[in-house]
Amino acid sequence: MATSTDHGPRLVTRHSHLLANYARAEINFVRGEGVYLFDESGNRYLDLVAGIAVCALGHAHPRITRAIADQAARLVHVSNLYHHEPAGTLADRLAQLAGFDAVFFCNSGAEANEAAIKLARKHAFRNGETKRTSILAANGSFHGRTFGALSATDNPKYKEGFEPLPAGFAFTPFNNIEALERAIDETTACFLVEPVQGESGVVPATAEFLRAARRICDERGALLIFDEVQCGMGRLGRLFASQLYGVVPDAFTLAKSLANGLPIGALLIRGAAVGALRPGDHGTTFGGSPVPAAAALEHLNVRDALDLDTHVAAAGTLLRDELAAIARDWPEVFAAPRGHGLMLGLPVYKPTIAAAFVAPALDEGLLINAAGRNTLRFIPPLIISADEIRDAMSRLRRTIARVLAAPSAS
């Protein structure tokens, strides 16, 4: 179907042996460049999803591509039995940027959170506190799909049919300080929390809640651990979410955009907890291997060169203003946007659901995403320009008008 953005027909080559555990959109991407993706028919799409908050510097950034190619030509893998330059240097850089003491590398967000959970339990164990085993998480949380991370994830839909899950996980209402006071006690190993909940629809923690979490964890001897897998690495306008909130956890996790698209996760640790995991306690074959580590290092270099935090603050304000204008223009459909920096959500009310906009947006050459509590989630490449934001919002407005004009929307 030709549209106002001159998109031609979209051919979709089918790959019938991919396990059907995703509801993949009917589109086959072959190439990316900056904030744009191209399908196999040559249609161009403005990408406000960025591989789910992964491609912070956009697609095929030339400096990342070169760093990957150079490292691949030198050394791809040696295992964690030995030192190598990219992981060592990346650990130094991250530790120095965060003011933390030690870094564990793995391959994904779920794995980083598994390591965080194991860290919390082993830390208590080494302190002789064998009853301090409970992992407290927040309602609305998403920490990943592996058994430990899944057990700390609130959404029952992800757990159904996988029980029994590991014991020793508890939940407390997000942004509720009185409940947190009651929930953290001498059995709590850690409070694991996302500074901005992404999968449940871009719901930011209040600064008061995170400050109270810091105080209560200190008073009761529990670790405070932030999951910055989605909201870290500059997405909120500061390199780390903890810096935006001014609350320093004992440990925090990163993944997603750390290597701008190559698989890597990280657990950063400070203070006494650093000694909890000793040789043999935890590990992974590929974690922090040379190529993703080299890409992550170059990501940090490019961020500095672009002064990305300043850019994200300005671009985030523009995107939020544009979304607020959309909410004002369709007050019966959308609520005011929420979030920080370039991690924004636009809540959707009746007469439709957020997911109803996603496929029609493709026909306008726009990639958007629906998350959690009926929310459109905007997590574009952090390099997106003001003109690209305005262009994206024109496409979104055309999409909204079309969806709401369709008979099924009312």
The residue ranges that bind ligand PLP (CB under 6 A) are 108-110, 113, 142-144, 194, 198-199, 227, 229-230, 255
CB of 140 or CB of 365, closer to ligand PLP? 140
Minimum distance between the CB of residue 173 and ligand PLP, rounded to whole angstroms? 18
Nearest to 227 by CA among 294, 319, 148: 148
Nearest to 346 by CA among 366, 364, 373: 373
CB of 143 or CB of 299, closer to ligand PLP? 143
What percent helix, strand, coil does the chain show, rounded to 5?
40, 20, 40
Name the amino acid, one letter, at 99: G
Minimum distance between the CB of residue 189 and ligand PLP, rounded to whole angstroms? 18
Q: Which position's Cβ is nearest ligand PLP?
A: 109
Evaluated on CA atoms 35, 311, 62, 234, the torsion sign reads: negative
The per-residue b/e assignment along 113-138, b for 16 or more CB within 10 angstroms, e otherwise, is bbbbbbbbbbbbeeeeeeebbbbbbb
The per-residue b/e assignment along 22-42, b for 16 or more CB within 10 angstroms, e otherwise, is eeeeebeeeebebbbbebeee
Minimum distance between the CB of residue 31 and ligand PLP, rounded to whole angstroms? 23
What strand order describes the sheet that includes 366-367? 29-33, 36-39, 44-47, 366-367
Minimum distance between the CB of residue 268 and ligand PLP, rounded to whole angstroms? 15
CB of 34 or CB of 144, closer to ligand PLP? 144
For residues 253 and 133, is the Cβ–Cβ distance under 8 A? no
CB of 98 or CB of 196, closer to ligand PLP? 196
CB of 54 or CB of 308, closer to ligand PLP? 54
CB of 109 or CB of 148, closer to ligand PLP? 109
Minimum distance between the CB of residue 356 and ligand PLP, rounded to whole angstroms? 22
CB of 199 or CB of 250, closer to ligand PLP? 199
In 3-139, the DSSP E strands lie at 29-33, 36-39, 44-47, 102-106, 134-138
How far apart (Å, rounded) are the C-alpha atoms in residues 121 and 131?
10
Minimum distance between the CB of residue 364 and ligand PLP, rounded to whole angstroms? 25
Minimum distance between the CB of residue 114 and ligand PLP, rounded to whole angstroms? 9
